[in-house]
Amino acid sequence: MTPQMIFSLWVLGILAATLAIVVGCYTWIVLRGFQRAGGDTRALDTLASRDGGLEFITVAIVLPAAFMMRVNDWISADAAMSLISGVMGYVLGQYTTKKNRPASLPHSN
């Protein structure tokens, strides 16, 4: 193993441990809110989707992985930029869609 690969493994290990702690805390918060809502599944859906936790976890996994694959020269620079651009477009697209969505849709009779 090259020193570059050892460094990459250390960084990915630290990021994985940090991400495990963040996901564990996020899961605990959502489940605690679900319990306080009396087990209502609509409350669970609201808690899980309202604050963008899934988007954060996606970015926290994909960006370091793309960075490490590029550092180790496993993928080209163009592939890394495509991967990062796709994830960022998805995340930012979610926020602009939520912001522009009307509070209630008109009813058609």
The tally of domains found in the chain comes to 1
Q: What is the pLDDT of residues 59-87, one digit of tens each?
A: 878 888 888 888 888 889 999 899 889 88
Q: What is the mean pLDDT of residues 96-109?
A: 55
With a CB cutoff of 8 Å and minimum separation 6, the contacts of 85 are none
CA angle at residue 31 from 99 to 100, to 5 degrees? 5
With respect to residue 59, please indicate whether it lies within any of the assigned structural domains: yes
| 21: containing domain | 3-99
With respect to residue 90, please indicate whether it lies within any of the assigned structural domains: yes
Q: What is the pLDDT of residues 85-96, one digit of tens each?
A: 988 888 777 766
With respect to residue 105, please indicate whether it lies within any of the assigned structural domains: no
With respect to residue 39, please indicate whether it lies within any of the assigned structural domains: yes
With respect to residue 106, please indicate whether it lies within any of the assigned structural domains: no
